[in-house]
A and B are shown apart, each in its own frame.
Chain A
Amino acid sequence: MKNRRSVLEILVTLPSALWLAIFFLVPTVVVMAIAFKPTNPYGGVGTGWTVATWLSLGNPSYPAILWRTLWLSLLTTAASIVFAVPVGYYLARIRKRWRQFLLLLIIVPFWTSFLIRIFAWKVLLHPDGFIKKGLVFLHLAGDGASLLYNPWAVLLVMIYSYVPFAVLPIYAAAERFDFQLIEAARDLGAKQWQSFLKVFLPGIRRGLLTAVLMVFIPALGSYLIPDLVGGPDSEMIGNKIAQRVFVDRNLPHASALSSLLTLAVLLPMTVVLFLPGRRGRPDLMAGEGK
């Protein structure tokens, strides 16, 4: 009986396991393998194996770009979480009809193409746009200053793009949160902010972790946003990978950069996954539990 159940389980999980293996695992391995191949003059991959590409990553332009990618992504993540926590809190507390309406507002932008939404920002931040003119009128910006084509424009549009990915998991966690726990904390002498920090945030920590991953990982791989609203001083690693593929036609080099990015995400996640939690504590990465 038990045996039959495990056979069934394997049969049920097999399609998704195969899907992940064929379309996710194999391509990742192929990309990593190409990084160890020499390049050839036609933009393809040569024969034999080499580590020359990896060594060339020491090129002084990369650390700066890597650093920028990292801090832009970290700031985007931090800002998205700071913005999303109160939003998730109030979404979970307000009446159901309002909640559904507001959730719809959060989801509506996804019905428009990502590309078009970024172009909309280009219009908004345009030197002749009303934001710029308003800032100049208020003497908050000089006439010659540019709101576009700098790292801050990239950060702004990245936060705009990724906030929904933080709001949704945090709202989902807040909605399951038992708000009587806040009353219990208040009852035991906690001020409002103390009950928020010591009870609400730990209570939604799974949602917070999901939100961090959902924002940080795609932010690291951003390519379109710095390409459209960023300037030469706001390139991210995604732009470099694209340049290596489309401009330099150097697949091994692009592969090495991609592998670097993948490893940068995978390593910390693996550590978190296998970090021994406190004994008996409801596990952070485990499913819903009880």
Chain B
Amino acid sequence: MANGEFLEFEDVSKYFGRIRAVDGVSLSVRKGEFFSLLGPSGCGKTTLLRILAGFERPDTGRVLLNGRDITALPPHERKVNTIFQSYALFPHLTVRENIAFGLRIEKRPKKEIAEEVERMLVLIQMEDQAEKYPDKISGGQKQRVAIARALIKKPQVLLLDEPLAALDLKLRQRMLMELDLIHDEVGITFLYVTHDQGEAMSLSDRIAVMNGGIIEQVGTPGEIYEAPRSSFVAAFIGDTNFFEGRVAEVVGGEYSRLVIDGFPEVLCFNDKHISVGNPVYLSIRPEKFHISREKPETGNRHNVVQARVEDVIYQGLMTRYWVRSGEYRISVARQHSRFLLDETPIRWDEDVWISWHADDGYMLERYSESDEKLVSLPPENIGEVNGEGNGAA
């Protein structure tokens, strides 16, 4: 066990027939951390969670909890508890009996159980609903009962399997804050599985982005968003624009000049020191672009490209412009400034200049198959791939 690592997956694989649901995953989670497994459906995140809970036995690898190998332990002997997506409250038991279930199974003294349950009811603010049956309480309340039922066992890790997916948007936002508060209050490790980048970004200390049974990147929300390690991560977390190019020249050590087919040459930050001649993807987030009618005055680390506006979509929080430059259709997101007196809004079919700082573009080596697939999609479709996540963010 490495120092400070609390929960470890070591080279864990799980096959369902010929499908590799989890493919050689190694992962370390620290004590007290709010850790998210984020990925599209079928990426293996739920299987990994079920392996930890003991509902699936991995085909290879080990799971260590607090230094102890728990790979072969049955679910009831593990100090982990799960919040199920459907909550899985026992319909024949009241709220109070549901919460008490885990302690009754342990045959703890009646008085102690009563006290613990009362404490949990206070924590989830449902003292006055304790005698109701699950079919008589709301979705958000069920959620809270499920949390209390798991927390009362004082697990070393609390597993949450898309716990907010069944709630409507407003309730989801409130439960998001409540989960955050509960995590701060109880201080145990949370392992949170979700396909919703918004939930993962706002709750997590660290996120593991999964795709096709493997982990693409582990990092803080900021690292994952600002410095994606693969084009999958760049495309899955937020929106992005991809450009297919080749490193033409290294400029002043940290920067490189890229040639892109059907697009002007651009300058890009090259912290990965990708050498000249290598094929790369350049990823630029829509909000990193500036858009203006006049050619902007910029420093020498800026790229400036002329483009034509093909579409303007007002989205409330911001306005999205689809602009064409060369062979690329680029998504640009700006907060509008319609109340500034000197600015008339940019309209469809206008000629504009888009500009961005070299540090705001991200170069990614072209290597994995999933990259090829994602990037070969036209930009509109990538937007749709992300649509689900963005809507909930």
Contacts and interface: CB of A to CB of B under 8 A. Distances in A.
B92 A189 contact: no
B133 A186 contact: no
Contacts of B53: 183, 187
A82 to B, nearest CB: 21
B355 interface: no
Given A188-B81, A199-B90, A203-B92, A194 B105 contact: yes
Number of contact residues on B: which range applies? 20 to 34
Contacts of B334: none
Contacts of B80: 187
B383 interface: no
Given A184-B84, A189-B76, A281 B153 contact: no
A184 B82 contact: yes
A178 interface: yes
A190 interface: yes
A181 B135 contact: no
Nearest to A199: B90
Contacts of B82: 183-184, 187
Contacts of B149: 188
Contacts of B74: 186
A117 B53 CA distance: 50
A194 B75 CA distance: 13
A289 B74 CA distance: 35
B42 interface: no
B113 to A, nearest CB: 13
Contacts of B212: none
Given A189-B102, A280-B132, A282-B135, A183 B153 contact: no
Contacts of B60: none
A274 B74 CA distance: 43
Contact of A180 (B76, B86, B136): B86
Nearest to A177: B91
**Secondary structure of the A side of the interface?**
helix
Number of contact residues on A: which range applies? 20 to 34
Interface string B134-164: 0110000000000001100100000000000
A202 interface: yes
A191 B78 CA distance: 12
Contacts of B55: 183, 186
A180 B46 CA distance: 14
A289 B86 CA distance: 19
A202 B101 CA distance: 14
Interface string B40-83: 00000000000001110000000000000000001110001110
A278 to B, nearest CB: 9
Interface string B160-194: 00000000000000000000000000000000000
B1 interface: no
A194 B101 CA distance: 11
A178 B86 contact: yes
B91 A185 contact: no
22 contacts: A178-B86, A178-B88, A180-B84, A181-B90, A183-B55, A184-B82, A186-B75, A186-B76, A187-B150, A188-B76, A188-B81, A188-B101, A188-B105, A189-B105, A189-B153, A190-B76, A199-B90, A202-B90, A202-B92, A280-B131, A280-B133, A289-B135
